[in-house]
Structures are given as C-alpha cells and as structure tokens.
Amino acid sequence: MPVLPDAVLRGWCGRVDGAYIDCTFGRGGHSRALLSKLSDRARLYAIDRDPQALAAARALAAEDARVTPMDGNFADLLPQFDEASCAGILLDLGVSSPQLDQAERGFSFQADGPLDM
C-alpha cells in the first residue's frame, strides 16, 4: 500500500502521453495510481533491483502493456532515456514495510539478518 499516492497525483504534470519512469517501483502502488490517469499511448518504466519488486513489476506488465519492468539501479538506467520524451520521473526513497518485515531479506533494522548491499 503506497503511503502518498494522492500526493503523487497532485504533483503529476497532467500529461497523459509520454514516458514516465518509476525509479523505485517497489510493489507498484504509485505506478498503478499514475497509470489510472495515463492514456493508452503512455509508457511507464518500472525500475527496481529488488527481486520481489521486479516480480510485482512483471505481474503488472502482464496486465498492462504500457508497463516495462527494468532490473537495476536507476542511476545506471536513467541515462538510457531521452530527456525530451520523458514526461515524469518518480522516486520514493523510503523502504517499504514488506522489506522491513522480513529480516532475512537484509533490510531490517529491528532484527538480525544478512547484510544486503
């Protein structure tokens, strides 16, 4: 469940076409909110390096042809995009509850687990 989907939509520029890049896809809540406002001609690139987040991005791509999952760090992938065609970029720089809840994933600060760098 995204924390600020309404804030994302309030900050949205209003363009219904073009390329949108979710640099920290997570479970896709913000992307789903944005997709609900975009035309069929828009594209959404879902970037994440967390395998569970990528699985969620692939599932969304199976439902919605406008979505393209991308595995990796957004800092490495952003240079691939043409700045002129990019309508918006979203970064949610916090950790998600599912990451913190499972200590074995290496994100938790509340329980011992492997270090995931």
Domain of 40: which CATH number?
3.40.50.150
Q: Is residue 86 part of a domain?
A: yes
Residue 83 pLDDT:
82
Residue 99 pLDDT:
65
Q: Is residue 110 part of a domain?
A: no
Q: Is residue 104 part of a domain?
A: no
Which amino acid is it at 114?
Answer: P
Q: Is residue 103 part of a domain?
A: no
Among 62, 37, 51, 113, residue whose Cα is nearest residue 90? 37
Quick one: tokens of 105? 């994933």
Indicate the number of domains in the chain. Answer: 1
Q: How would you write the pLDDT of the chain (117 residues) with one tens digit per residue?
A: 555 666 666 666 677 888 999 999 988 988 999 999 899 999 999 999 989 999 999 999 999 999 999 999 999 998 888 888 788 888 887 766 666 666 666 666 676 766 656
Residue 112 pLDDT:
72
Q: Is residue 115 part of a domain?
A: no
Tell me the residue range of the domain where 71 lies.
5-94
Confidence (pTM): 0.80
Residue 43 pLDDT:
96
Residue 5 pLDDT:
61
Q: Is residue 82 part of a domain?
A: yes
Residue 42 pLDDT:
95
Please state, in angstroms and rounded to a whole number, the distance separating the CA atoms of residues 115 and 68.
29
